[in-house]
Amino acid sequence: MSVPVLTIDGPSGAGKGTVSRAVAKIKGWHYLDSGSIYRALAIAAAAAKTDLQDVAAVTEVAENLQLTFVCGDELTVILDGRDITPQLGLESTGHAASIIAALPAVRRVLLQKQQDFRKPPGLVADGRDMGTVVFPDAVCKVFLTASAAKRAERRYKQLIEKGIDANLCQITHEIEERDRRDQERKAAPLAMAEDAYYIDSSTLPVGDVIAEVIKLIS
Ligand code: C5P
């Protein structure tokens, strides 16, 4: 029997990471944060001074990507022996990741790296195309979303709590821009799988979303 996978796809800031990590912990399953692979690739490409429009060069960086994930309460990501976790969450990293993620050749190289996370007893995979492309045979698929205004507000609060200066208008604009790029690209665009459950977390507390997903997978 194949290893069960739960996929949680949706736009940035919908709470996929928090929900996925919690569900993985409750079930004792592995966790794949596929966005962090695209983000790590953006950091590796910048370190190699690669032009993001140079498809062959970015693809080569993707082929040689040496990543280690350490799962604790938070995810720690090591690139070529260096802890890049602090850089991963930057808005500029997410922006560069979404440019790279539109390249079909890069997505082809990263496909197997993501599928390699599928190990017993199970996997929770979060991203944009987990249910549509990477794990189409997943046992349970969720599409988790929230309004752009709500997602921007959450991101704004997170930054302010960390003592980082933030502008709500600018964050809303960046979120809408990233949504547009992720939805309109030709290669594996952000889309809900036909057999996915739709959850709108705009007005739901995160605990309720986790409970709902646990109910679905059980
Ligand atoms: O989810 P996160 O914000 O970390 O993802 C960063 C970017 O990586 C996204 O905006 C998207 O362009 C890309 N991505 C993707 N496919 C995935 C996960 C992330 O294209 N499965």
DSSP secondary structure string, the chain? -PPPEEEEE-STTSSHHHHHHHHHHHHT-EEEEHHHHHHHHHHHHHHTT--TT-HHHHHHHHHT--EEEEESSSEEEEETTEE-HHHHT-HHHHHHHHHHTT-HHHHHHHHHHHHTT--TT-EEEEESSIIIII-TT-SEEEEEE--HHHHHHHHHHHHHHTT----HHHHHHHHHHHHHHHHH-SSS-S---TTPEEEE-SSS-HHHHHHHHHHHH-
Q: 148-161 vs 168-184: helix axis angle to the nearest 10?
A: 130
Average pLDDT over residues 90-102: 91
Shortest-distance Cα residue to atom 4 of ligand 1: 35
| Residues of the domain holding 172 | 5-217
Q: Which amino acid is at 147?
A: S
What is the CA(9)–ligand 1 centre distance, in A?
A: 10
Q: pLDDT class for 135, splitting at 50, 70, 90?
A: very high
CA 129 to ligand 1 center in whole angstroms: 9
- Asked whether residue 87 carries a pLDDT value surpassing 80, the answer given is yes
12 C-alpha vs ligand 1 centroid, how far in Å?
8
Q: Is the CB of 7 under 6 A from ligand 1?
A: no
- What is the tens place of the pLDDT at every residue in 63-73? 999 999 887 77
Ligand 1 centroid to Cα of residue 81, in Å, is: 23
Q: Is 38 in the pocket of ligand 1 (CB under 6 A)?
A: yes
Residue among 34, 107, 151, 174 to mutate when testing ligand 1 (max atoms within 8 A of CB): 34
- Its pTM surpasses 0.85: yes
Looking at the structure of the chain, the number of domains it has is: 1
For residue range 36-72, what is the model confidence (pLDDT) as tens digits?
999 999 999 999 999 998 999 999 999 999 999 887 7
25-35 exposure pattern, b = at least 16 Cβ within 10 A, e = fewer = eebebbbbbbb
* 151-201 pLDDT per residue, tens: 999 989 988 988 888 899 999 999 999 899 889 998 889 999 999 999 999
Residue 97 Cβ contacting ligand 1 at under 6 Å:
yes
Q: Which of 182, 185, 180, 196 is nearest to 131 (CA)?
A: 196
Q: What is the mean pLDDT of the chain?
A: 93
Tokens 């390699």, residue? 116
In short, whether 35's Cβ falls inside 6 Å of ligand 1 is yes
pLDDT over 90 at 90, yes or no:
no
Percentage of the chain lying above the pLDDT 90 cut: 79
**Mean pLDDT value across residues 62-90:** 89
Ligand 1 atom 16 nearest Cα: 128
By DSSP bridging, strand 197-200 and strand 140-145 are parallel
CATH number at residue 127: 3.40.50.300
